[in-house]
Amino acid sequence: MHNMLLRPGFILLALILVSSSAFAQSGYKLEFKVKGLKDTTAYLGYYSGDQTFVRDTAKVNSNGVFAFEDPKSVAQGIFMVVLNTTPVLTFVMGSDQRFMIETDTEDYSGHAVVTGDEDNKLFFENANFLASKYKEADPLIKIIRDSTLKEDQKKQAREEFKKFGQEVLAYQNNLLAKHPTTFTARLIKSTREIEVPEPPKRADGTVDSTWQFRYYREHYWDNFDLADDGMIHLMKPVYKEKVKDYLDRLFIQDPDTLTKEIVRLAAKTKKNQETYKYFVWTCMSHYSQHKIMGLDEVYVNLYDKFVASGELDFWLDKKAKQTIKDYVDKIRLSLVGGNAPNLIMQDKDLKPKSMYDVKNRYTILYFFNPDCGHCKEETPKLVDFYNKNKTKFDFEVYAVSTDTSMAKMRTFIKDFKMPWTTVNGPRTYVGHWSKLYYAETTPTMYVIDAKHKIIAKKLPIEQLDEFFQRYDQTHRPKPTDIGERKKL
């Protein structure tokens, strides 16, 4: 049985982490003998992404002996013995999942003796080696961190500390060379930074200033295997964080560029269903509510490529696919760069008002609810911005009340002195606004250009000035554009 450990939430991603396909069929038997421990219950815990789970339970006898056993093997990764809710012993689960660990409560890790598994022998030897080196280097670290000392007083300490680093590197390089396929070796390798060489010189003696950046990006995954599902089961969500870092930091934040790169990387993970679904879902989650405006288009693209196509049918059932589709259908309505459908609704005088009747360079489409507390905070800001900048940026506001009450809308207009066209959303001539725009929370704002194209959405009102200034600089209308606008 898989019980949540330490975390109350349970989200769709958890389906990835505990799905039965993650476990092979050869079985595991983990025996423990812990001096000083008796008559209690121990749990076998493991990490998956940023979640922590319990895999198994065992009774500890009066001699500190207990065992976890199952006919099904588990995915490789970092596991732990847990007492109550506290992890007391961390170890690795590699290809050999039948072994024994003897230790004591004085120092679970430091006194661990492994029988039957080379991987865990290496794991504890490396951990103890690092601990001993850190203890030796501690006096040097204190000197280096002492803010009262001058740099020349720290010079010798830095040089000696550098030797410790070289010793650790040599030790781990030897481990990697002799035992490259063990999980311990793969774990160590995954933490290694990419060493970027000096750029080559051209014939004229100059260098390409982008060469090192391109080298780093091309070799980013040299030490980290995206198809190794053991990398999903680490103490920290390293897999997810590396994917996000790679996409956010090393690529132009353009939907097409990012989608193309994600599809390329997904192909590398496809040989392992566990990493394939984890990688794809990590990327989809990342772009479902991305902080950069317009990148929700990546989410839509990934849905089309991997979900709607049936690529993930081995994992997602019909209900899960429908849930995702429902969300995608909503955000697909109003992607940045897409067409802004016209709205025709009744104003406070029950007269139909068309959004397309706005002939300014920009239209701010503002969805609000008269009972919304946040709307009452933001609307005065928009009124102030409107009164100060309407002429400067040549824009008009078309506000839509999402509440059915005309009386509430009229009161809201009066109370906040809204000087623009305000209409009642439910009193529509073109269908419900929710079928045309994604605005499930209020207030929600879209910026639309004269050609009825969405150029921004969900901008904070405080950023409107900066947005208009930048957009005006990079999208100055051509004379033909102005002529076309006047004809609209």
The pLDDT of residue 181: 96
Q: Do residue 263 and residue 357 come from a single domain?
A: no
Average pLDDT of the residues in 196-211: 93
pLDDT at residue 420 is higher than 90: yes
Domain count, the chain: 3
Specify the higher pLDDT residue, 4 or 22. 22
How do residues 339-360 score in pLDDT, each as one tens digit?
999 999 999 999 999 999 999 9
Average pLDDT of the residues in 122-149: 92
Q: Do residue 474 and residue 365 come from a single domain?
A: yes
pLDDT at residue 14 is higher than 80: no
Is residue 227, in this structure, part of any structural domain at all? no
Is residue 8, in this structure, part of any structural domain at all? yes
How do residues 186-195 score in pLDDT, each as one tens digit?
999 999 999 9
Q: CA-to-CA distance for 315 and 412, rounded, in angstroms?
A: 48
- Least confidently predicted of 16-20, 75-79, 377-381: 16-20
What share of the chain in percent tops pLDDT 90? Answer: 83
Is residue 337, in this structure, part of any structural domain at all? no
Bridge partners of 396, per DSSP, are 363
Is residue 203, in this structure, part of any structural domain at all? no
Q: Within a 10 A sphere around the Cβ of 93, how many other Cβ atoms?
A: 25
Q: Within a 10 A sphere around the Cβ of 286, how many other Cβ atoms?
A: 20
Q: What are the C-alpha distances in Å from 224 to residues 20, 121, 176, 217, 232?
A: 25, 22, 14, 13, 11
Bridge partners of 445, per DSSP, are 366
The domain boundary, picked from 272, 302, 332, lies at 332
How do residues 389-403 score in pLDDT, each as one tens digit?
999 999 999 999 999
Q: CA-to-CA distance for 374 and 67, rounded, in angstroms?
A: 55
* Whether the Cβ atoms of residue 368 and residue 480 lie closer than 8 Å to each other: no
Is residue 232, in this structure, part of any structural domain at all? no
Domain with residue 385: its CATH number is: 3.40.30.10
The domain boundary, picked from 279, 306, 332, lies at 332
pTM score? 0.84
pLDDT at residue 19 is higher than 70: no
Q: Do residue 327 and residue 351 come from a single domain?
A: no
Is residue 353, in this structure, part of any structural domain at all? yes
Average pLDDT of the residues in 4-23: 41
Closest CA to 447 of 431, 425, 465: 465
- Residue numbers of the domain that contains 325: 237-332
Q: Do residue 316 and residue 350 come from a single domain?
A: no
The pLDDT of residue 21: 40
The domain boundary, picked from 303, 332, 361, lies at 332
Question: Angle between the 273-288 and 255-269 helix axes, to the nearest 10 degrees?
Answer: 160
Q: Do residue 354 and residue 427 come from a single domain?
A: yes
Q: Do residue 309 and residue 189 come from a single domain?
A: no
Q: Do residue 215 and residue 255 come from a single domain?
A: no
The pLDDT of residue 475: 83
Calculate the CA dihedral of residues 69, 71, 75, 78 and round it to 10 degrees: 10
Buried b (16+ CB within 10 A) or exposed e, 35-59: eebeeeebbbbbbbbebbbbbbebe
**C-alpha angle 177-183-187 in degrees, rounded to nearest 5:** 80
The pLDDT of residue 477: 61
Complete DSSP assignment for 358-383: --SSEEEEEEE-TT-HHHHHHHHHHH
Q: Do residue 151 and residue 3 come from a single domain?
A: yes
Q: Do residue 119 and residue 154 come from a single domain?
A: yes
Q: Do residue 292 and residue 424 come from a single domain?
A: no
The pLDDT of residue 479: 55
- Least confidently predicted of 139-148, 190-199, 206-215: 139-148
Q: Do residue 188 and residue 264 come from a single domain?
A: no
How do residues 249-282 score in pLDDT, each as one tens digit?
999 999 999 999 999 999 999 999 999 999 999 9
* Whether the Cβ atoms of residue 446 and residue 282 lie closer than 8 Å to each other: no
